[in-house]
Structure formats: C-alpha cells, structure tokens
Amino acid sequence: MSNYVQLEKLGEGTYATVFKGRSRTTNEIVALKEIHLDAEEGTPSTAIREISLMKELKHVNIVRLHDVIHTETKLVLIFEYCEQDLKKYMDTHGERGALDPGTVRSFMFQLLKGTAFCHDNRVLHRDLKPQNLLINRKGELKLGDFGLARAFGVPVNTFSNEVVTLWYRAPDVLLGSRTYNTSIDVWSCGCIFAEMITGVPLFRGRDNQDQLLNIMRIIGTPDERVLRKIAADSPEIQLKQYPRYPKVPWQQVVPKASPQAIDLLERLLQFDPTKRITAQEALMHPYFTTPAAPLYGQPQYPYPQQAAEHAFSTQMADARQQQQQQQQQQLAFQQQQMQQMQQPSGPPNQYYTPSGQYAQQYAQGR
C-alpha cells in the first residue's frame, strides 16, 4: 500500500470498504477497495470472483481494475476512480430523480454496451442497479461491483436464485429459477431505464412474493403456459395461483417517455425470459438509431453537451461496425455449414448455445 495514499472514505459494503486514493507514482486519483481478511475463512469468494472476471473485462463501459495488493490482513483492489454512481447522479442532477431524455439515452446506450460486452464474454453481472453503475467527469457510465458476477458456459450452469437486489430482480429468478442466463441482466437494464425516466424505482417490493405481484400489477399476470415453461426448466419451482392482473399501458407508467423508448422498455421487460431482447439487439433499436425525439426541458449534463454528443455518436459508429462484423461472421458460418452438409463423409458440426444468440461466436471457437 506504500504506492497509494488514502484520501477519504467513499462507502462501505458487506465485505469491503472503499476509499478515494491517489497514486504516489503517477498522482492519479483511484478508488481503493479494501477487503479485510478473516484469519479462518481467508479471502471471500466474492473477491476472488470479482478479481478473476475483471482482469479479463477490458471495456470503456466497465470500471477498470488497475492492480491488486495482497497483505496478511487485507486485500486491496485498485480501480479507476469515478465521481459518483448513477443513483447519486439522479438525485443530484435529475428533476426529482428523473433525468432528461438526452441523458437517459446516452446512459442507457452505455449501460447496454457494457452489458453486451459482458455477455459476449460469457459473463453474467447478476447485480445491475443504479448504485453499481459509476459515472465519471466525462459522462461515461461504467459497470462496477462484479462481486456477484458469474462466468457461464455451454450449457448454462445451475446458479443460486439469491442474486440481484430485489427491485431489479427478474420474475423468473423471483419464481425460483436456477437455470437463468443473460436475460436476467436485460431485465435489470429495463428497470434502470424506467427509473432514469421517472426518477423512482419501477417495482418496489418488500419481499420476493410482493415483488412478483408488483411486476404483475404493471405488465400483467402471464399466461399459465409461460409460468409452466419457466417452471419446466427448474423443478424446484412450486407454482401457485396468482391474481389475474391486466397489463397497464406503458404510456401510463412512463408518461414522459417517447414511443420508441416505450417500445424498447417493453422489449426489455418481458415476463418470459425467452422473449426479452438481448443487450446486443437493444443497441440497434430505433430508440438509438433514429434522430432523438424533441426533448422536454434542457439537458442537464454536468459536462459539455458537445462531449456527450461526440461520445454517443462514436459509440453508435462502433455499434454499427460491430453489427456488420457479426453479420459477416454469421454469413461465413452459414456458408461453412452448407459446405459441410454437402460432404457425404458425416453429419455437419453442431453447436449448442444457451439461447442461440451466440452461435457464430461459439462457431468461431470463442
């Protein structure tokens, strides 16, 4: 720790305390996440998981892990420093917590970029919420706190259903599913999207059952077939009779949202996890790819508007380039499959993926 100076305490979590710090060698401001080690239990599994995953995840919308320092009494993770999290940002810069449309669109795009990168690298964050999304002076949003994150393989493993802070937890997880996949992060993104627009959490349950009923009161009670399909993947789920709530029009739930924003929100917040849009698909939604609707009120960026627009346009260009590359990979994969099918020596290769979303990536040997 001799290379870093503690400046002030930023916060305290379940197993760690975070300080603002400064590097003695570079004068760079950093975040120091101190994890105190138990003499008997050793290093917490959450810390090991966070370190192993974040060493591999290098992306502008994921907080960067600079270094790890290990002593007899504590483990210190050195992260890039961000001035505040999204929750504090909304409280400080929003109108009763609600952000202006330009800010919402920029932050939502960056949230989906970081999430899509995690999913492309077979990582589930599993705890996306405003408090775990960090904002720096340049208006860059970064995914942080990967203590609950998990790598997933082929097929998707069975996980614990005690994931994601209650208000951002997907209904299939609330039901008790242990075979979830990337769709649980997509649901959390939808909840955060609505919260940025309205300034208040969308679903505020007291416990699992109350949270599930709150979801049904807004998006409607799903068809019995949907419930049975979710339960079929997880035998431990015990279904019960739920009140038949009609769906509330999204225009009433988020009255200030544009039609394109409402369409994206509805695609993110599907009760059936197989119906939810993927993070990569969401990036190409018209909400991002068409000119923005007229703003209600002036943008409230705490940094130059030109910088925000430049960052957004750059990210859009990157997304279009990435989509073209994926289309080319998919075409090449299909051509390869056709060639193999025409060969009499044996059956074509088969690839199994959790939801069919990443066939071309697995085909390329990722």
Point out the annotated binding site.
33
Whether the pLDDT of residue 289 is over 70: the answer is: yes
19 strand-pairing partners: 9, 32
Burial 197-211 (b: 16+ CB within 10 A, else e): bbbebbbebeebeeb
Choose the weakest-confidence range: 226-235, 274-283, 313-322: 313-322
Greatest alpha-carbon span in the chain? 69
Domains of the chain are 4-80 (3.30.200.20), 84-315 (1.10.510.10)
Residue tagged active-site, from 100, 120, 127, 145: 127
Q: What share of the chain is helix, strand, coil (3-state, %, to 5)?
A: 40, 15, 45
CA distances from 70 to 5, 160, 188 (A): 16, 29, 33
CA atoms within 13 A of residue 15's CA, in its CB half-sphere: 20
Q: pLDDT tens, 349-365?
A: 332 233 333 333 333 44
Burial 326-353 (b: 16+ CB within 10 A, else e): eeeeeeebeeebeeeeeeeeeeeeeeeb
Whether the pLDDT of residue 211 is over 60: the answer is: yes
Point out the annotated binding site for ATP.
33
127 is annotated as an active-site residue: yes
How many angstroms separate the CA atoms of 97 and 130, rounded? Answer: 12
**pLDDT given for residue 133 in this prediction:** 95
Judge whether 278 and 182 are in contact, CB under 8 Å.
yes
Q: Of the ranges 156-165, 169-178, 228-237, 248-257, which is most confident?
A: 248-257
Whether the pLDDT of residue 332 is over 80: the answer is: no
Mean pLDDT of 242-265: 95
Closest CA to 142 of 50, 69, 65: 65
Mean pLDDT of 17-37: 91
Q: List, edge to edge, every strand of the sheet that includes 74-80.
A: 4-12, 17-23, 29-36, 74-80, 65-70
How many angstroms separate the CA atoms of 261 and 288, rounded? Answer: 9
Whether the pLDDT of residue 144 is over 60: the answer is: yes
How many angstroms separate the CA atoms of 177 and 282, rounded? Answer: 24
Choose the weakest-confidence range: 74-78, 152-156, 204-208, 314-318: 152-156
Q: 226: how many CB neighbours lie within 10 A of its CB? A: 18
Choose the weakest-confidence range: 10-24, 82-96, 105-119, 209-223: 10-24
Confidence label for 85 from pLDDT (cuts 50, 70 and 90): very high
Measured in Å, how far apart are the chain's first and last C-alpha atoms? 37
Take residue 364 and report the two structure tokens written for it: 């390329």
**pLDDT given for residue 206 in this prediction:** 92
Full-model pTM:
0.76
Closest CA to 278 of 225, 356, 197: 356
Choose the weakest-confidence range: 73-87, 98-112, 189-203, 231-245: 231-245
Mean pLDDT over all residues of the chain? 79
Q: Is 97 left (phi over 0), alpha (psi -120 to 50) or beta?
A: left
